[in-house]
Amino acid sequence: MSASPQATKAPGAGATWLDQVVFDAAGLVPVIAQQMPQGRVLMLAWADRAALEETQRSGLATYYSRSRARQWRKGEESGHTQRVREIRLDCDGDAVLYLVEQAGGVSCHTGRESCFFRRLRDGAWELADPVLVDPRQLYGREAT
């Protein structure tokens, strides 16, 4: 954190911003995407080192899909990309926050604004948010 940008980027300097991220045993770190300026938490996904680097380089939120075991740019299928305005790191370095502008206002594959659309009420999860876009429009098939 005290390194200057010059030192950080110098070849062989050995310390880049990525070195301060604490990845888990699988080489991943959890990433929260929060919509700007509204502040809605959209999703939680995972990133490896390369995905973080690609996010910084491209300005588009990039993750690592554990189920597909590959890098994944949000919106690569649906077109609902996330423009990253800021990347933040937490105090112990093992969680990342992307502050994003969500294209289309829909983050979830179910066609909802946020993936956190289930709310606990009286001991059961209830659907709290409306579907804004037919998921078949997003992917050409029904979302599960």
Q: Which residues bind a second copy (CB under 8 A)?
A: 1, 3-5, 8-9, 16-17, 20, 30, 32, 34, 38-41, 43-44, 56, 86-92, 95, 97, 108-110, 112, 115-128
Handedness of CA 4, 8, 12, 13 (dihedral sign): positive
Question: What DSSP line would sit under 63-92, residue for residue?
Answer: EEETTTTEEEETTTTTS--EEEEEEEE-TT
Q: Cβ of residue 71: shortest distance to a second copy, in angstroms?
A: 19
Q: Cβ of residue 84: shortest distance to a second copy, in angstroms?
A: 10
Q: Cβ of residue 67: shortest distance to a second copy, in angstroms?
A: 9
Q: Which residue lies nearer to a second copy by CB, 31 or 81?
A: 31
Q: Cβ of residue 117: shortest distance to a second copy, in angstroms?
A: 7
Backbone angles phi, psi at 11, to 5 degrees: -60, 135
Q: Which residue lies nearer to a second copy by CB, 92 or 142?
A: 92
**CA nearest neighbour of 54 among 69, 66, 42, 71:** 71
Q: Which residue lies nearer to a second copy by CB, 81 or 84?
A: 84
Q: Which residue lies nearer to a second copy by CB, 70 or 91?
A: 91
Phi-psi map region of 66: left, alpha, beta (phi>0 left; psi -120 to 50 alpha): alpha
Q: Cβ of residue 10: shortest distance to a second copy, in angstroms?
A: 10
H or E stretch at 52: helix 49-58
Q: Which residue lies nearer to a second copy by CB, 81 or 96?
A: 96
CB 34 within 8 A of CB 41: yes
